[in-house]
Structure 1
């Protein structure tokens, strides 16, 4: 009976999360509460065993850091400067925005990056009288591919990094960044081909208006500018030096956030900073961990792991490729965060079935989940955020229209990732047997 209740609560919660009729954080928390009320597990088990507080705290710290840095206007300054450097030319602007978004997503996280850049891009496209759709699509795809490259770039990677301590910031740079760069270059080339006709004309008068903008006026040249950029750089350096420092990533991020709050107290109201934290996202994670915890508690996760092992007969190559494509395709249909939350304990369970080196499977899950998020507007949190920001300014992104562009890029991305995984991890693993 407990198994049926836990599965029913999980599936119903998923359906409501996908339809977005009710706030997804509220749905996830309600599902977690139902698990407690139906005695699937105790509150102590939820708090101590199932909610990953490290992931929640790491996201919170990065939100605080970016929230303060945003007040300096440095992100608007960079975007406008870029537009002036390319002299408002549509295709170079598209490429520049793509690079900016990908790099920002790798170093900050993709949700935060799109929150910063989408309003600026909509302002620029409106000023230059350019169609916003190609740029919004480019931002979504670049954000998810860029986020694939690092541990903090995409929430699924953060979750994997917290679940597997030896997969450090540098590990992700070494293992997911190379293929992410290859896929990014190919994706941008395809987007240019697809949108070149829509971006081949521009009014010179609009370019003159752009060139008259003074990007320096967007930059608040106060001590906060130096303080925030310094602490942000120190924090990212701390992530990179994590294997040497032997300090938990969450501690590094929290240290950076609290340090910046302390040294910027005269310019920034701490309460205002906390108001700008994306609490909905954080509570969504908490509820999500509780939902997946219900499946763990009743043994569904163990059974899923056994099923995968039975299908692949424990073969690392088949298991890795199955994980890549399953996570890639499922992440396009549902948000990749809950999918990864459900799959992490499944992969961990493989160890009890004799798989000694699980790293190829972790890279399969990370690549599939992050890249697959590009397939639809609900495939990743960054997609939902971009769609919401655009619609608020009258630039609605139709679900099907987006999928026409997103799905082929995902399929191509997964094919490239398959070749990469096969030759770098799966084939060498087979040869050592």
Structure 2
């Protein structure tokens, strides 16, 4: 009976999360509370066994770091300065926009990056009288592709990194970075080719851009230098994790606390805490509770058995199946709840004799993150960009985005399948 209750609550919650008619965090938390009320598990079990507080603390710390840095005007300064460097030329601006977004998404996280860059890009395209759609499209694509490269770049990667101790910040870069670079380059070439005729420069408007003073956005106070220093040190701490053996959450929390202490005189901690995306954090807590219910009743174990039965324990078949399943599912549902459900499934494979799980983790990360480019609801960054654009009167049509998103996802999954097979699966088969 408990199994039926847990599965029904999970499915109903999932439907409401996908529909986005009710706040997603509220839905996830309500589902978690229903599991408690129906006796599927006790609160102590949810709190100690199922809610991943490391992931929640890491997200919270990065939000604090970025919120403080944002107040210095650094991100606006970088965008305007770059636009002036290319003298307002539409195609170089598009390429630069893609590169900055991808780098920002890899080092900060994709939702934060698009929140920072979309308003600036909308201002620049309006000033230069350029169509905004190609730039918004490339921001979405670049944020999801760039965020795939690092542990902190995309929420699914954060969840996987926290679930698998030996997958470090550096291992994400070295394993996912090469294919991300290839897919990013292919995406950029295709987008430039498709929109090249629409991206025409107007000298009159370019002259107005060149008269702007990007330094006016910079607040040259101690907070600027403190933010850059602490943010850089935090990222260095992530990279040095295999050497110093301090976990990522501890590094991030220390960085956030240090920056809060250093900048307390310029901006109060209460103000920073108000700007933290609490809805996102509670959404994660609710998701962990929902998936915990499935773990408690053994549904995750049965799902793992089913996949093992389908693939007969064959590692290459299992890896490719997870890659394409996560990639295709992430086009129609947000990739966060999908990954939350898949993590315990992959962990169960070890109990059935599959020793090397790394190809499965990389397949899940690549499929979920890259699959988010398929539709406007495929990833959190997509929803944020669409909302910001609509607020500025630049609505992105769901169907229009679909025409570009789905082909990119299919191409990305095809390239990724080749990469995963050649790098991980072929050597495994040669050993056998």
| DSSP-derived class of the 1:130 partner | coil
Aligned to 1:351: 350
**Take 2:170 and 2:365, find their aligned partners in 1: how far apart are those partners?**
15
Aligned to 1:45: 45
Q: In the TM superposition, what is the alpha-carbon distance from 1:398 to its structure 2 partner? A: 1.2
| 1:176-187 equivalence runs, <5 A | 176-187=176-187
| 1:144-223 equivalence runs, <5 A | 144-199=144-199, 201-223=200-222
Aligned to 2:54: 54
Aligned to 1:128: 128
Quick check: 1:99 aligned with 2:99? Answer: yes
Aligned to 1:233: 232
Aligned to 1:308: 307
Q: In the TM superposition, what is the alpha-carbon distance from 1:32 to its structure 2 partner? A: 0.8
Q: In the TM superposition, what is the alpha-carbon distance from 1:431 to its structure 2 partner? A: 1.3
Aligned to 2:18: 18
Runs (4+) of structure 1 exceeding 4 A deviation are none
Aligned to 2:251: 252
Quick check: 1:67 aligned with 2:67? Answer: yes
| 1:393-408 equivalence runs, <5 A | 393-408=392-407
Could you state the TM-score of these two structures normalised by the residue count of structure 1? 0.99
Backbone CA RMSD of aligned residues: 0.7
Q: Show CA shifts across 1:41-99 (max 9, x none).
A: 11111111111000000000000000000011000000001111111111111100000
| 1:83-122 equivalence runs, <5 A | 83-122=83-122
Aligned to 1:242: 241
| DSSP-derived class of the 2:165 partner | coil
| DSSP-derived class of the 2:220 partner | coil
Q: In the TM superposition, what is the alpha-carbon distance from 1:203 to its structure 2 partner? A: 2.2
Q: In the TM superposition, what is the alpha-carbon distance from 1:319 to its structure 2 partner? A: 0.3
Q: In the TM superposition, what is the alpha-carbon distance from 1:14 to its structure 2 partner? A: 1.1
| DSSP-derived class of the 1:176 partner | helix
Quick check: 1:379 aligned with 2:390? Answer: no
| 1:279-298 equivalence runs, <5 A | 279-298=278-297
Q: Show CA shifts across 1:318-346 (max 9, x none).
A: 00000000010011111111000000000
Q: In the TM superposition, what is the alpha-carbon distance from 1:18 to its structure 2 partner? A: 1.1
Q: In the TM superposition, what is the alpha-carbon distance from 1:102 to its structure 2 partner? A: 0.2
**Take 2:337 and 2:19, find their aligned partners in 1: how far apart are those partners?**
14
**Take 1:401 and 1:34, find their aligned partners in 2: how far apart are those partners?**
39
Aligned to 2:427: 428
**Take 2:110 and 2:403, find their aligned partners in 1: how far apart are those partners?**
22
**Take 1:385 and 1:174, find their aligned partners in 2: how far apart are those partners?**
29
Aligned to 2:331: 332
| DSSP-derived class of the 1:21 partner | coil
**Take 1:34 and 1:395, find their aligned partners in 2: how far apart are those partners?**
40
Aligned to 1:30: 30
Could you state the TM-score of these two structures normalised by the residue count of structure 2? 0.99
**Bigger shift: 249-258 or 83-92?**
83-92
Q: Unaligned 5+ residue runs, structure 1?
A: none
**Take 2:16 and 2:86, find their aligned partners in 1: how far apart are those partners?**
44
**Take 2:88 and 2:81, find their aligned partners in 1: how far apart are those partners?**
10
Q: How many residues align?
A: 432
**Take 2:415 and 2:70, find their aligned partners in 1: how far apart are those partners?**
35
Q: In the TM superposition, what is the alpha-carbon distance from 1:202 to its structure 2 partner? A: 3.0
